Amino acid sequence: MEPLGKDAGTAGGASPSLGPVGPEAAAAPQPPTHAPASLAKLAFGALGIVYGDIGTSPLYAVKECVAMPHGVPPTAPNVLGLLSLIFWSLTFVVTIKYLYFVMRADNEGEGGVLALMALVARRKGKANARWTPRLVLLGLFGAALLYGDGVITPAISVLSAVEGLEVATSTFNSIVVPLTCVILVALFWAQKGGTARIASVFAPVTLAWFLAIAAMGLPWVLHAPAILGAVNPIHAVRFFSAHGGHGFLVLGSVVLCVTGGEALYADMGHFGTPAIRRAWIVCVFPALLINYFGQGALLLARPWAAANPFYALVPTPLLIPMVALATAATVVASQALISGVFSLTRQAVQLGYLPRVTVVHTSARTEGQIYIPEVNWLLMAACVLLVIGFKESTRLAAAYGIAVTGTMAITSILFAVHARREWGWSRARAGALLALFLAFDLS
Protein backbone atom coordinates (compact mmCIF):
# COMPACT_ATOMS: atom_id res chain seq x y z
CA MET A 1 0.00 0.00 0.00
CA GLU A 2 1.45 3.33 -1.01
CA PRO A 3 1.03 6.28 1.37
CA LEU A 4 -2.12 8.17 0.53
CA GLY A 5 -0.91 11.49 1.83
CA LYS A 6 1.08 13.26 4.47
CA ASP A 7 0.90 16.24 6.68
CA ALA A 8 3.50 17.84 8.89
CA GLY A 9 1.37 18.03 12.02
CA THR A 10 0.89 21.22 13.96
CA ALA A 11 3.58 23.64 14.97
CA GLY A 12 4.71 23.65 18.55
CA GLY A 13 2.74 26.76 19.43
CA ALA A 14 -0.51 25.60 17.96
CA SER A 15 -3.74 25.80 19.86
CA PRO A 16 -4.35 22.64 21.88
CA SER A 17 -7.31 21.37 19.93
CA LEU A 18 -8.21 18.07 18.34
CA GLY A 19 -11.70 19.10 17.38
CA PRO A 20 -14.90 20.50 18.86
CA VAL A 21 -15.89 19.31 22.31
CA GLY A 22 -18.75 20.27 24.60
CA PRO A 23 -22.01 21.88 23.55
CA GLU A 24 -20.67 22.80 20.12
CA ALA A 25 -19.76 19.15 19.51
CA ALA A 26 -23.36 18.38 18.62
CA ALA A 27 -22.78 19.83 15.19
CA ALA A 28 -19.44 18.09 14.72
CA PRO A 29 -19.17 15.40 12.06
CA GLN A 30 -19.96 11.99 13.44
CA PRO A 31 -17.75 8.96 12.81
CA PRO A 32 -18.87 7.02 9.74
CA THR A 33 -20.96 3.94 10.31
CA HIS A 34 -19.61 0.72 8.85
CA ALA A 35 -21.54 -1.92 6.93
CA PRO A 36 -21.57 -5.35 8.61
CA ALA A 37 -18.98 -6.73 6.16
CA SER A 38 -16.70 -3.73 6.69
CA LEU A 39 -17.12 -3.94 10.46
CA ALA A 40 -16.23 -7.62 10.42
CA LYS A 41 -13.10 -6.85 8.38
CA LEU A 42 -12.06 -4.12 10.81
CA ALA A 43 -12.71 -6.43 13.77
CA PHE A 44 -10.54 -9.08 12.13
CA GLY A 45 -7.77 -6.54 11.59
CA ALA A 46 -8.08 -5.39 15.21
CA LEU A 47 -7.12 -8.88 16.35
CA GLY A 48 -3.61 -8.44 15.00
CA ILE A 49 -3.06 -4.80 15.92
CA VAL A 50 -4.99 -4.24 19.16
CA TYR A 51 -5.15 -7.59 20.95
CA GLY A 52 -1.72 -9.10 20.40
CA ASP A 53 -0.38 -7.87 23.74
CA ILE A 54 -3.22 -8.93 26.01
CA GLY A 55 -3.64 -12.11 23.96
CA THR A 56 -0.20 -13.42 24.89
CA SER A 57 -0.63 -12.87 28.64
CA PRO A 58 -1.57 -16.56 29.23
CA LEU A 59 2.06 -17.39 28.52
CA TYR A 60 3.15 -15.96 31.86
CA ALA A 61 0.25 -14.65 34.00
CA VAL A 62 -0.76 -17.89 35.76
CA LYS A 63 2.85 -19.03 35.92
CA GLU A 64 3.87 -15.91 37.83
CA CYS A 65 0.96 -16.33 40.26
CA VAL A 66 2.11 -19.80 41.35
CA ALA A 67 5.86 -19.29 40.95
CA MET A 68 7.70 -19.53 44.24
CA PRO A 69 8.71 -17.78 46.43
CA HIS A 70 6.42 -14.83 45.63
CA GLY A 71 3.51 -16.93 44.36
CA VAL A 72 1.17 -19.34 46.15
CA PRO A 73 1.06 -23.16 46.05
CA PRO A 74 -1.38 -24.52 43.42
CA THR A 75 -3.88 -25.92 45.90
CA ALA A 76 -7.58 -26.05 45.01
CA PRO A 77 -8.59 -22.95 47.06
CA ASN A 78 -5.62 -20.98 45.69
CA VAL A 79 -6.27 -21.95 42.07
CA LEU A 80 -9.97 -21.08 42.33
CA GLY A 81 -9.10 -17.79 44.01
CA LEU A 82 -6.51 -16.86 41.35
CA LEU A 83 -8.87 -17.74 38.49
CA SER A 84 -11.60 -15.68 40.12
CA LEU A 85 -9.23 -12.71 40.30
CA ILE A 86 -8.21 -13.20 36.66
CA PHE A 87 -11.81 -13.51 35.50
CA TRP A 88 -12.98 -10.40 37.30
CA SER A 89 -9.87 -8.43 36.31
CA LEU A 90 -10.52 -9.15 32.62
CA THR A 91 -14.23 -8.51 33.01
CA PHE A 92 -13.92 -5.29 34.97
CA VAL A 93 -10.78 -3.68 33.56
CA VAL A 94 -11.22 -4.53 29.88
CA THR A 95 -14.92 -5.18 29.32
CA ILE A 96 -16.41 -2.68 31.75
CA LYS A 97 -13.75 -0.02 32.27
CA TYR A 98 -12.28 0.34 28.78
CA LEU A 99 -14.86 -1.05 26.34
CA TYR A 100 -17.97 0.26 28.09
CA PHE A 101 -16.86 3.44 29.88
CA VAL A 102 -13.50 4.86 28.82
CA MET A 103 -13.89 4.33 25.07
CA ARG A 104 -17.02 6.50 25.15
CA ALA A 105 -14.72 9.45 25.88
CA ASP A 106 -13.26 9.78 22.38
CA ASN A 107 -11.98 12.95 20.77
CA GLU A 108 -13.35 12.82 17.21
CA GLY A 109 -12.70 9.09 17.12
CA GLU A 110 -9.23 9.29 18.69
CA GLY A 111 -8.47 7.68 22.03
CA GLY A 112 -5.60 7.49 24.47
CA VAL A 113 -4.48 9.41 27.50
CA LEU A 114 -3.66 12.58 25.53
CA ALA A 115 -7.05 12.67 23.83
CA LEU A 116 -8.69 12.31 27.23
CA MET A 117 -6.44 15.02 28.66
CA ALA A 118 -7.50 17.37 25.85
CA LEU A 119 -11.16 16.76 26.65
CA VAL A 120 -10.56 17.57 30.31
CA ALA A 121 -8.41 20.64 29.61
CA ARG A 122 -11.01 22.37 27.43
CA ARG A 123 -13.60 22.75 30.15
CA LYS A 124 -13.60 26.41 31.17
CA GLY A 125 -14.71 28.05 34.38
CA LYS A 126 -13.28 29.37 37.64
CA ALA A 127 -13.89 26.09 39.44
CA ASN A 128 -11.77 24.24 36.89
CA ALA A 129 -8.99 26.80 36.47
CA ARG A 130 -7.01 25.65 39.50
CA TRP A 131 -7.11 21.93 38.69
CA THR A 132 -6.77 21.96 34.89
CA PRO A 133 -2.98 22.63 34.77
CA ARG A 134 -2.42 19.79 37.23
CA LEU A 135 -4.59 17.45 35.17
CA VAL A 136 -2.69 18.44 32.03
CA LEU A 137 0.58 17.64 33.78
CA LEU A 138 -0.86 14.31 34.90
CA GLY A 139 -1.96 13.55 31.34
CA LEU A 140 1.50 14.36 29.98
CA PHE A 141 3.06 12.05 32.56
CA GLY A 142 0.65 9.32 31.47
CA ALA A 143 1.66 9.92 27.86
CA ALA A 144 5.31 9.59 28.87
CA LEU A 145 4.51 6.26 30.54
CA LEU A 146 2.72 5.12 27.38
CA TYR A 147 5.80 6.02 25.33
CA GLY A 148 7.80 3.93 27.79
CA ASP A 149 5.29 1.11 27.30
CA GLY A 150 5.70 1.51 23.53
CA VAL A 151 9.44 1.02 23.87
CA ILE A 152 9.37 -1.81 26.42
CA THR A 153 6.54 -3.89 24.89
CA PRO A 154 8.29 -4.72 21.58
CA ALA A 155 11.55 -5.40 23.41
CA ILE A 156 10.08 -7.69 26.08
CA SER A 157 7.62 -9.39 23.70
CA VAL A 158 10.15 -10.30 21.03
CA LEU A 159 12.87 -11.15 23.57
CA SER A 160 10.54 -13.47 25.51
CA ALA A 161 9.46 -15.05 22.21
CA VAL A 162 13.01 -15.92 21.22
CA GLU A 163 13.71 -17.13 24.76
CA GLY A 164 10.63 -19.34 24.41
CA LEU A 165 12.33 -21.24 21.61
CA GLU A 166 14.72 -22.58 24.23
CA VAL A 167 11.87 -24.76 25.50
CA ALA A 168 12.26 -26.87 22.38
CA THR A 169 16.00 -26.55 21.83
CA SER A 170 19.06 -24.99 23.46
CA THR A 171 20.56 -24.09 20.07
CA PHE A 172 19.36 -20.50 20.42
CA ASN A 173 21.11 -19.83 23.75
CA SER A 174 24.03 -17.97 22.20
CA ILE A 175 22.04 -16.04 19.62
CA VAL A 176 19.00 -14.89 21.61
CA VAL A 177 20.00 -11.22 21.70
CA PRO A 178 21.22 -10.96 18.04
CA LEU A 179 18.16 -12.80 16.74
CA THR A 180 15.86 -10.56 18.79
CA CYS A 181 17.49 -7.46 17.34
CA VAL A 182 17.08 -8.77 13.78
CA ILE A 183 13.39 -9.49 14.36
CA LEU A 184 12.84 -6.02 15.87
CA VAL A 185 14.50 -4.31 12.90
CA ALA A 186 12.30 -6.32 10.51
CA LEU A 187 9.18 -5.47 12.54
CA PHE A 188 9.82 -1.73 12.46
CA TRP A 189 10.83 -1.86 8.79
CA ALA A 190 7.40 -3.32 8.00
CA GLN A 191 5.62 -0.35 9.62
CA LYS A 192 5.95 1.83 6.52
CA GLY A 193 3.47 -0.46 4.75
CA GLY A 194 0.68 0.90 6.95
CA THR A 195 -1.56 -0.55 9.63
CA ALA A 196 -3.94 -2.16 7.13
CA ARG A 197 -1.18 -4.12 5.40
CA ILE A 198 0.34 -5.20 8.71
CA ALA A 199 -3.08 -6.22 10.00
CA SER A 200 -3.64 -8.40 6.93
CA VAL A 201 -0.52 -10.35 7.91
CA PHE A 202 -0.80 -10.23 11.69
CA ALA A 203 -4.54 -10.85 12.07
CA PRO A 204 -4.46 -14.45 10.72
CA VAL A 205 -1.53 -15.24 13.05
CA THR A 206 -3.39 -13.79 16.04
CA LEU A 207 -6.62 -15.59 15.12
CA ALA A 208 -4.69 -18.87 14.88
CA TRP A 209 -3.18 -18.09 18.29
CA PHE A 210 -6.56 -17.51 19.95
CA LEU A 211 -8.03 -20.65 18.39
CA ALA A 212 -4.99 -22.65 19.52
CA ILE A 213 -5.01 -21.47 23.14
CA ALA A 214 -8.76 -22.12 23.36
CA ALA A 215 -8.27 -25.61 21.90
CA MET A 216 -5.50 -26.25 24.46
CA GLY A 217 -7.62 -25.25 27.44
CA LEU A 218 -11.00 -26.68 26.45
CA PRO A 219 -10.24 -30.40 27.08
CA TRP A 220 -9.10 -29.62 30.62
CA VAL A 221 -12.17 -27.48 31.32
CA LEU A 222 -14.40 -30.30 30.08
CA HIS A 223 -12.41 -32.77 32.19
CA ALA A 224 -12.97 -30.68 35.34
CA PRO A 225 -16.02 -28.45 34.76
CA ALA A 226 -16.11 -27.57 38.46
CA ILE A 227 -13.27 -25.14 37.67
CA LEU A 228 -15.92 -22.82 36.18
CA GLY A 229 -17.10 -22.17 39.71
CA ALA A 230 -14.20 -19.71 39.95
CA VAL A 231 -16.44 -17.06 38.37
CA ASN A 232 -17.98 -16.75 41.83
CA PRO A 233 -16.18 -13.77 43.42
CA ILE A 234 -16.42 -15.41 46.85
CA HIS A 235 -13.32 -17.43 45.88
CA ALA A 236 -11.35 -14.20 45.44
CA VAL A 237 -12.56 -12.97 48.84
CA ARG A 238 -11.53 -16.23 50.49
CA PHE A 239 -8.14 -16.02 48.77
CA PHE A 240 -7.42 -12.65 50.37
CA SER A 241 -8.79 -13.83 53.73
CA ALA A 242 -6.41 -16.77 53.68
CA HIS A 243 -3.28 -14.96 52.48
CA GLY A 244 -3.67 -11.41 53.77
CA GLY A 245 -0.85 -9.11 52.66
CA HIS A 246 0.83 -11.85 50.63
CA GLY A 247 -2.37 -12.30 48.64
CA PHE A 248 -2.25 -8.61 47.78
CA LEU A 249 1.29 -9.06 46.47
CA VAL A 250 0.12 -11.96 44.31
CA LEU A 251 -2.43 -9.59 42.81
CA GLY A 252 0.58 -7.84 41.27
CA SER A 253 1.05 -10.99 39.17
CA VAL A 254 -2.66 -11.32 38.42
CA VAL A 255 -2.63 -7.87 36.83
CA LEU A 256 -0.37 -9.29 34.11
CA CYS A 257 -3.52 -10.71 32.53
CA VAL A 258 -4.66 -7.19 31.57
CA THR A 259 -1.39 -5.85 30.15
CA GLY A 260 -2.26 -4.38 26.79
CA GLY A 261 -5.61 -3.02 27.97
CA GLU A 262 -4.51 0.58 27.42
CA ALA A 263 -3.76 -0.28 23.78
CA LEU A 264 -7.50 -0.74 23.19
CA TYR A 265 -8.05 2.92 23.98
CA ALA A 266 -4.90 4.22 22.30
CA ASP A 267 -5.69 2.37 19.03
CA MET A 268 -9.30 3.55 18.73
CA GLY A 269 -8.45 5.75 15.76
CA HIS A 270 -7.07 2.83 13.77
CA PHE A 271 -10.18 0.63 13.82
CA GLY A 272 -12.98 2.37 15.71
CA THR A 273 -14.80 1.38 18.88
CA PRO A 274 -17.40 -1.00 17.32
CA ALA A 275 -14.74 -3.18 15.67
CA ILE A 276 -12.59 -3.35 18.81
CA ARG A 277 -15.61 -4.26 20.95
CA ARG A 278 -16.78 -6.95 18.55
CA ALA A 279 -13.34 -8.60 18.34
CA TRP A 280 -13.15 -8.76 22.14
CA ILE A 281 -16.61 -10.22 22.73
CA VAL A 282 -16.62 -12.71 19.85
CA CYS A 283 -13.05 -14.01 19.92
CA VAL A 284 -10.52 -12.64 22.41
CA PHE A 285 -12.40 -12.79 25.71
CA PRO A 286 -13.76 -16.35 25.27
CA ALA A 287 -10.37 -17.70 24.12
CA LEU A 288 -8.52 -16.13 27.03
CA LEU A 289 -11.01 -17.42 29.61
CA ILE A 290 -10.96 -20.96 28.22
CA ASN A 291 -7.16 -21.06 28.35
CA TYR A 292 -6.91 -19.56 31.83
CA PHE A 293 -9.52 -21.95 33.21
CA GLY A 294 -7.81 -24.81 31.38
CA GLN A 295 -4.52 -23.95 33.10
CA GLY A 296 -6.36 -23.90 36.42
CA ALA A 297 -7.90 -27.32 35.81
CA LEU A 298 -4.48 -28.66 34.83
CA LEU A 299 -2.93 -27.37 38.07
CA LEU A 300 -5.62 -29.08 40.13
CA ALA A 301 -4.78 -32.40 38.46
CA ARG A 302 -1.01 -31.89 38.13
CA PRO A 303 0.31 -29.43 40.73
CA TRP A 304 3.87 -30.17 39.60
CA ALA A 305 3.09 -28.43 36.29
CA ALA A 306 3.27 -25.05 38.06
CA ALA A 307 6.73 -24.42 36.57
CA ASN A 308 5.09 -23.68 33.21
CA PRO A 309 1.35 -24.42 33.17
CA PHE A 310 0.83 -22.91 29.71
CA TYR A 311 3.15 -25.30 27.89
CA ALA A 312 2.02 -28.15 30.14
CA LEU A 313 -1.34 -27.92 28.35
CA VAL A 314 0.34 -28.79 25.05
CA PRO A 315 0.67 -32.45 24.00
CA THR A 316 4.34 -33.34 23.54
CA PRO A 317 4.14 -33.90 19.73
CA LEU A 318 2.70 -30.37 19.34
CA LEU A 319 5.20 -28.61 21.60
CA ILE A 320 7.55 -27.33 18.89
CA PRO A 321 4.72 -26.05 16.63
CA MET A 322 3.14 -24.34 19.65
CA VAL A 323 6.43 -22.68 20.59
CA ALA A 324 6.73 -21.43 17.01
CA LEU A 325 3.17 -20.06 17.07
CA ALA A 326 3.81 -18.45 20.45
CA THR A 327 6.92 -16.82 19.01
CA ALA A 328 4.93 -15.37 16.12
CA ALA A 329 2.14 -14.24 18.46
CA THR A 330 4.47 -12.44 20.84
CA VAL A 331 6.12 -10.64 17.92
CA VAL A 332 2.63 -9.53 16.85
CA ALA A 333 1.92 -8.42 20.43
CA SER A 334 4.30 -5.49 20.08
CA GLN A 335 2.24 -3.99 17.24
CA ALA A 336 -0.54 -2.72 19.50
CA LEU A 337 1.77 -0.30 21.28
CA ILE A 338 3.65 0.73 18.12
CA SER A 339 0.36 1.77 16.50
CA GLY A 340 -0.71 3.43 19.75
CA VAL A 341 2.50 5.49 19.90
CA PHE A 342 1.88 6.73 16.34
CA SER A 343 -1.59 7.95 17.37
CA LEU A 344 -0.22 9.43 20.59
CA THR A 345 2.47 11.35 18.71
CA ARG A 346 0.04 12.91 16.27
CA GLN A 347 -2.18 14.02 19.15
CA ALA A 348 0.83 15.51 20.99
CA VAL A 349 1.80 17.50 17.88
CA GLN A 350 -1.75 18.77 17.42
CA LEU A 351 -1.87 19.81 21.07
CA GLY A 352 1.43 21.66 20.76
CA TYR A 353 3.47 19.41 23.06
CA LEU A 354 5.81 18.02 20.39
CA PRO A 355 7.45 19.57 17.32
CA ARG A 356 5.92 18.83 13.94
CA VAL A 357 6.61 15.45 12.39
CA THR A 358 5.80 13.71 9.10
CA VAL A 359 2.41 11.99 9.34
CA VAL A 360 1.80 9.55 6.48
CA HIS A 361 -1.83 8.46 6.00
CA THR A 362 -1.90 4.85 4.84
CA SER A 363 -5.63 4.23 4.43
CA ALA A 364 -8.25 5.89 2.26
CA ARG A 365 -11.08 4.70 4.50
CA THR A 366 -9.81 4.92 8.07
CA GLU A 367 -8.38 8.35 8.89
CA GLY A 368 -6.63 7.15 12.03
CA GLN A 369 -4.34 4.69 10.24
CA ILE A 370 -1.03 6.55 10.09
CA TYR A 371 2.73 6.01 9.96
CA ILE A 372 5.28 8.42 11.43
CA PRO A 373 8.79 7.57 10.17
CA GLU A 374 10.73 9.68 12.69
CA VAL A 375 8.99 8.02 15.63
CA ASN A 376 9.25 4.59 14.05
CA TRP A 377 13.03 4.68 13.74
CA LEU A 378 13.52 6.22 17.18
CA LEU A 379 11.37 3.45 18.68
CA MET A 380 13.39 0.83 16.82
CA ALA A 381 16.68 2.23 18.11
CA ALA A 382 15.37 2.41 21.69
CA CYS A 383 14.04 -1.18 21.56
CA VAL A 384 17.30 -2.56 20.18
CA LEU A 385 19.29 -0.70 22.86
CA LEU A 386 17.00 -2.10 25.57
CA VAL A 387 17.54 -5.66 24.34
CA ILE A 388 21.30 -5.20 24.15
CA GLY A 389 21.42 -3.56 27.57
CA PHE A 390 19.09 -5.85 29.55
CA LYS A 391 19.62 -9.12 27.63
CA GLU A 392 16.82 -10.95 29.52
CA SER A 393 13.07 -10.31 29.46
CA THR A 394 12.75 -10.81 33.22
CA ARG A 395 14.95 -7.76 33.81
CA LEU A 396 12.42 -5.63 31.91
CA ALA A 397 9.36 -6.95 33.74
CA ALA A 398 9.29 -4.44 36.61
CA ALA A 399 9.57 -1.40 34.34
CA TYR A 400 6.92 -2.95 32.08
CA GLY A 401 4.43 -3.28 34.93
CA ILE A 402 5.01 0.28 36.14
CA ALA A 403 4.47 1.72 32.67
CA VAL A 404 1.27 -0.26 32.06
CA THR A 405 -0.47 0.20 35.40
CA GLY A 406 0.67 3.82 35.77
CA THR A 407 -0.97 4.78 32.48
CA MET A 408 -4.14 2.89 33.41
CA ALA A 409 -4.41 4.72 36.74
CA ILE A 410 -3.96 8.14 35.11
CA THR A 411 -6.59 7.26 32.49
CA SER A 412 -9.00 6.37 35.30
CA ILE A 413 -8.49 9.72 37.03
CA LEU A 414 -8.88 11.76 33.84
CA PHE A 415 -11.98 9.79 32.83
CA ALA A 416 -13.66 10.47 36.19
CA VAL A 417 -12.96 14.21 35.83
CA HIS A 418 -14.30 14.20 32.26
CA ALA A 419 -17.45 12.35 33.28
CA ARG A 420 -18.11 14.88 36.02
CA ARG A 421 -17.37 17.98 33.92
CA GLU A 422 -18.81 17.01 30.54
CA TRP A 423 -21.48 14.43 31.31
CA GLY A 424 -22.73 16.00 34.53
CA TRP A 425 -22.08 13.02 36.77
CA SER A 426 -22.45 13.64 40.49
CA ARG A 427 -19.36 13.69 42.66
CA ALA A 428 -20.52 10.49 44.39
CA ARG A 429 -21.08 8.62 41.14
CA ALA A 430 -17.78 9.66 39.55
CA GLY A 431 -15.89 9.08 42.81
CA ALA A 432 -17.32 5.60 43.34
CA LEU A 433 -16.41 4.51 39.80
CA LEU A 434 -12.93 6.02 40.16
CA ALA A 435 -12.40 4.12 43.43
CA LEU A 436 -13.32 0.85 41.69
CA PHE A 437 -11.00 1.59 38.76
CA LEU A 438 -8.07 2.52 41.00
CA ALA A 439 -8.60 -0.59 43.14
CA PHE A 440 -7.48 -2.62 40.12
CA ASP A 441 -5.03 -0.13 38.60
CA LEU A 442 -2.96 0.59 41.70
CA SER A 443 -2.90 -2.91 43.17
pLDDT score of 33 more than 60: no
pLDDT of residue 19: 44
Amino acid 137: pLDDT:
87
Judged against a pLDDT cut of 70, whether residue 172 lies above it is answered with no
Instruction: Name the pLDDT band for 20 (thresholds 50, 70, 90).
Output: very low
pLDDT given for residue 36 in this prediction:
63
**Positive or negative, the Cα torsion across 193, 195, 201, 202?**
positive
Is the per-residue pLDDT at 412 higher than 50? Answer: yes
Strands of the sheet containing 370-371, edge to edge, are 5-7, 359-361, 370-371
- Do 21 and 422 touch, CB atoms closer than 8 A? yes
Query: Are 88 and 443 a contacting pair, CB within 8 Å?
Result: no
Identify the CA nearest to 362 among candidates 197, 250, 125, 147: 197
- Across the chain, what does the average pLDDT equal? 80
The full length of the chain comes to 443
Sequence-separated (6 or more) residues with CB below 8 Å from residue 409: 437, 438, 441, 442
Tell me the CA distances in angstroms from 188 to 15, 195, 251, 281, one per residue in order: 32, 12, 34, 30
User: With 50 as the cut, is the pLDDT of residue 388 above it?
Assistant: yes
pLDDT digits (tens, 9 = 90+) for 79-117: 999 999 999 999 999 999 999 898 888 777 777 788 888
What's the pLDDT at 31? 45
Reply yes or no on whether the pLDDT at 372 is more than 70: yes
What is the rounded distance in angstroms from the CA atom of residue 134 to the CA atom of residue 129?
10
Percent over 70 (pLDDT), the chain? 83
Confidence grade of residue 14 (pLDDT, cut at 50, 70, 90): very low
What band does 29 get if pLDDT is binned at 50, 70 and 90? very low
Cβ atoms of residues 293 and 80 within 8 Å: no
Q: What are the φ/ψ torsions at residue 99 (nearest 5 degrees)?
A: -70, -35
